[in-house]
Structure 1
Amino acid sequence: MVYGMGDEESCNKPLGRASVFYYGVGHMLNDITSACWFTYLLVFLTDIGLSPRNAATVMLSGQIADGFTTIFAGELIDRFGHFKRWHGAGSVLVAISFSSVFGVCLPCKIFATNSSIVQTISYSIFAAIFNVGWAATQVSHMSMVNCITLNPTSRVVLASCRNAFTMVANLSLYAVALAVFYVSKPRAHIDIENQYRWIAYLSIFIGCCFVSIFQIGTKEPRLKHRSQGASYQRISWAYWFKKVLYHQVAIVYVLTRLITNVSQAFLAFYVINDLQMAQSSKALVPAIIYICSFAVSVVLQGITWTGQRLKAFFTAGAVLWIFSGAGILILPSSMHNFMYLLSVIIGISNALIMVTGVSMQSFLVGEDLNGCAFVYGSLSFLDKISCGLALYVLESYQSSAASLKGCHRIMGCLSVTRYGLGLVPASCALLGLVVTYTMDLHTPHLKPIMEPLLT
């Protein structure tokens, strides 16, 4: 890329608080609907009568659509740019389709049937449409980081701010869920279904408010246009595939998403079925996790990042998850209050691995802006497919609450839920730790951030 001296200097300056804030809130709609998707979709679908395998099929269809859309969206964004247009179009599609994911089965109404096959197909179609919009928004928002600034510390701050507002989105969801569960006292099965629908509708409203702030406050990145003006040659896919660091970052990112998404999907089942806690724990336990994650994410914004620090903080988060996974596997229902302590540790761990795992992608891209969307799109594709397959396999063998009633209150049962919440994330954390140790993260010239953020 070719810049004038003044342009290059301005692009390397740390970003101000307002610019970071406007960017950080841009993923709120995606984040709050994603939290609802992973936390309550499987519970909702099984509550309306779908079998665990059919419920897993609905989620898998969405994950596959999401994964393939990230590839095409990444390629088109690299080719044509227009980050904000992609973000806006994807957000509109998310807002319109998500209500149908948690809505009534329209084909069932039209054809006057309650067939599980028709229900599964109907919800799978809406889930796929929702995830197409979700992927377009995600890839455009994530790939903007490298085109907003060349300052490596500001890039990590942007990722950290984005992660912090991910925590805000999750907290908003669980605050809404707590309010709905507290205010709405279900008297019939349809009331339980309506609880989840109200949670979904309110989530869409909150997310759309923040998307509006992003669209108004964030300017279309200049660096993308400059790089296109200086050179029309795009970076080929082969360039990334030949880099060892690309494969290392891909593995770590996929493992990070498996840890957070799989654990989130099985958390509600675990606290209700395995630990036999109160219904409000479906919102309270996740809320504790995200309060701790948010607090740690804010603290991490004050750090000047280097490659070694990224590796060190990711390692710390992975070790914490390994201990948390072991605790989840052995925790009996008679000691379910210890889950609140584990929630604190999980929240800290999630923040550490998410901030560092996403920031490693910025270190990978560096100043190769003509291929940044492909990097984010391809890694997101691997993330969505792997999470979808993992959840499909685990949910297909999910145990019902009735089958766990005979479990010993002291010894407990090693159910699929325990494996999904404890063993799978802990194993991924261990593997991610090993891969991170082998990385060679080149640290560019760093410039400290000018002022604190989110104060």
Structure 2
Amino acid sequence: MDDDGGVAGKEALGKGSVLFYGVGHVLNDITAACWFTYLLVFITDIGLSPRNAATVMLSGQIADGFTTIFAGELIDRFGHFKVWHGAGSILVAVSFSSVFGSCIPCIIFGNVSPSLQTIGYSFFAAVFNVGWAATQVSHMSMVNCITLNSTSRVVLASCRNAFSMVANLSLYAIAFVVFHIHPSRTTSDVENQYRWIAYSSIFVGCCFVVIFHIGTKEPRLKEDSRGHNYQKISWTYWFKKVLYYQVALVYVFTRLITNVSQSFLAFYVINDLRMAQSSKALIPAMIYICSFIISVLLQELAWTGQRLKVFFSVGGVLWVLCGLTIFFMPSNMKNIMYILSFVIGIANALISVTGVSMQSYLVGEDVKGCAFVYGSLSFLDKMSCGFALWALESYQSTSAALKNCNPTSSCFSVSRYGFGLVPAVCALAGVVVTCTMKLEKPRLRPLKVPLLE
């Protein structure tokens, strides 16, 4: 970024700028990991039905989706990225512990009916996601205003993804400790478990938010690289671009893969593969360790549009193979899950980094409309994930038929569809769309100071 706070030019970014930006989404990432991995498990463990759990999840996703649209429009009009980021982070920190904890309306009214519990958890889920969306859109929009260098934008996305892996690993480390120190025997024990996980996650995330705000300057839109003043770009400008729809599809498929699979992972390893309770934290941790390593390595590459397409396609094909294996794997072959976790980690890193980076290629130097692009695509992501999870979880079951399933054959539960088949189909569709894209093909420069040095 230029000294005067304007949009930086084509020069590559230094290591410090990349790192300070990369930590800005840790609070969102660590709470999102808890949201997608444990919300459905938590809600059903305290006695609510799978459909009620799905309703709580859907309420948050809908609130998140609509907030991204409004936040994107307001950020494009008025800027102030860090103000939106800070306000959203405060809302996330304040509301998240109420998502994983006791039902506050139930305490107030002295009623613990399933309907009131569902309403209470849904309300705080919506509030949490409003703050989450404001933080996400402001943070993602900053990429195109910090630098115009395409490779630096991919590096920023890679660094953010790497710290996302750190956030996820932190969550699973916290969860692993809590599940061992505080075993659950009653509903109150379950609430205490997740309350401690929530409090610890908020503390870790807020530390990184402070680092981000101290180390990152507020981008101010003044003039573009040709000396022209920036003007607000109309929504219709993007709707006329074929690439907008292609990138939107790829991004939605990417988020469906990662979010839906993450949401049903715990159900799959416990109910279908009959693994130990600690696997709810161990398997996700192994996935994110591998993703973190790959994300760091990706930051060292010089990027072109063609390379983005190739790496996404490789990640998509890996997910197709993993998804089909998960779908058909019998419980007596559960140890294969440890191998699959590493392959899934590689695939997640490849599709996440390249999927987000394609948005930067779409925006290019049209930075005065970047918040709408990120907001609208995030809206599609939240709504599609919300309804997909609602549809799947509504039919979730841990019935005796599943528990008595022959260990040498597959019982096709909802968990197998959510963790295996749905991500595989989305990955295949994403690869097909990616192959039809026409991205720019400039020879781009790598990061000025490699992060691995």
Fold agreement, TM-score > 0.5: yes
* 2: CA distance, partners of 1:165 / 1:232: 31
Match of 2:170 among 159, 163, 172: 172
Deviation at 1:8?
9.9
* 2: CA distance, partners of 1:83 / 1:188: 44
* 2: CA distance, partners of 1:312 / 1:8: 33
Q: Does 1:226 align with 2:232?
A: no
Deviation at 1:412?
2.6
Instruction: Tell me if structure 1 keeps the 8 A contact 2:295–2:349.
Output: yes
Q: Does 1:364 align with 2:362?
A: yes
Deviation at 1:78?
0.2
Q: Bigger shift: 197-206 or 390-399?
A: 197-206
SS at match of 1:178: helix
Deviation at 1:191?
1.4
Instruction: Tell me if structure 1 keeps the 8 A contact 2:294–2:349.
Output: yes
Instruction: Tell me if structure 1 keeps the 8 A contact 2:92–2:131.
Output: yes
Distance 1:191 1:10, change over 3 A: closer
* 2: CA distance, partners of 1:9 / 1:41: 39
Deviation at 1:448?
2.4
Match of 1:86 among 84, 94, 106: 84
Instruction: Tell me if structure 1 keeps the 8 A contact 2:222–2:229.
Output: no
Match of 2:290 among 279, 289, 292: 292
Deviation at 1:185?
2.7
* 1: CA distance, partners of 2:147 / 2:326: 41
Paired residue for 1:337? 335
Instruction: Tell me if structure 1 keeps the 8 A contact 2:271–2:398.
Output: yes
Instruction: Tell me if structure 2 keeps the 8 A contact 1:227–1:370.
Output: no
Instruction: Tell me if structure 1 keeps the 8 A contact 2:7–2:145.
Output: no
SS at match of 2:223: helix
Deviation at 1:9?
11
* 2: CA distance, partners of 1:175 / 1:454: 25
Paired residue for 1:121? 119
Paired residue for 2:205? 207
* 2: CA distance, partners of 1:173 / 1:37: 11
Instruction: Tell me if structure 2 keeps the 8 A contact 1:92–1:133.
Output: yes
Q: Does 1:236 align with 2:211?
A: no
Distance 1:239 1:128, change over 3 A: same
* 2: CA distance, partners of 1:454 / 1:396: 45
TM-score normalized with structure 2 length: 0.97
Distance 1:454 1:76, change over 3 A: farther
Alignment-mate amino acid for residue 181 of structure 2: V
* 1: CA distance, partners of 2:7 / 2:390: 49
TM-score normalized with structure 1 length: 0.96
Distance 1:242 1:113, change over 3 A: same
Paired residue for 1:159? 157
Paired residues for 1:252-267 under 5 Å: 252-267=250-265
Deviation at 1:445?
5.3
Paired residue for 1:32? 30
1:129-167 deviation digits (Å, cap 9, x = unpaired): 000000000000001000001111101000000000000
Alignment-mate amino acid for residue 127 of structure 1: A
* 2: CA distance, partners of 1:30 / 1:366: 25
Match of 1:350 among 338, 348, 351: 348
Instruction: Tell me if structure 2 keeps the 8 A contact 1:152–1:444.
Output: no
* 2: CA distance, partners of 1:273 / 1:24: 36
Deviation at 1:400?
1.4
Deviation at 1:82?
0.4
Instruction: Tell me if structure 1 keeps the 8 A contact 2:5–2:218.
Output: no
Alignment-mate amino acid for residue 329 of structure 1: F
* 1: CA distance, partners of 2:312 / 2:443: 21
* 1: CA distance, partners of 2:436 / 2:235: 23
Paired residue for 1:268? 266
SS at match of 1:144: helix
* 1: CA distance, partners of 2:363 / 2:98: 37
Instruction: Tell me if structure 1 keeps the 8 A contact 2:319–2:424.
Output: yes
1:190-242 deviation digits (Å, cap 9, x = unpaired): 212211121111001100000000000000114x2435995363111110000
Alignment-mate amino acid for residue 63 of structure 2: A
Instruction: Tell me if structure 2 keeps the 8 A contact 1:47–1:193.
Output: no
Deviation at 1:114?
1.3
Paired residue for 1:430? 428
Match of 1:381 among 379, 382, 401: 379
Paired residue for 2:195? 197
* 1: CA distance, partners of 2:36 / 2:278: 17
Unaligned runs of 5+ in 1: none
Paired residue for 1:278? 276
Alignment-mate amino acid for residue 247 of structure 2: V
Paired residue for 1:393? 391
Alignment-mate amino acid for residue 193 of structure 1: E
* 1: CA distance, partners of 2:217 / 2:230: 23
Instruction: Tell me if structure 2 keeps the 8 A contact 1:176–1:202.
Output: yes
* 1: CA distance, partners of 2:403 / 2:185: 23
Alignment-mate amino acid for residue 355 of structure 1: V
RMSD: 1.9
Deviation at 1:12?
1.5
Paired residue for 1:70? 68
* 2: CA distance, partners of 1:178 / 1:8: 44
Deviation at 1:121?
0.6
Alignment-mate amino acid for residue 437 of structure 1: C
Alignment-mate amino acid for residue 364 of structure 2: G
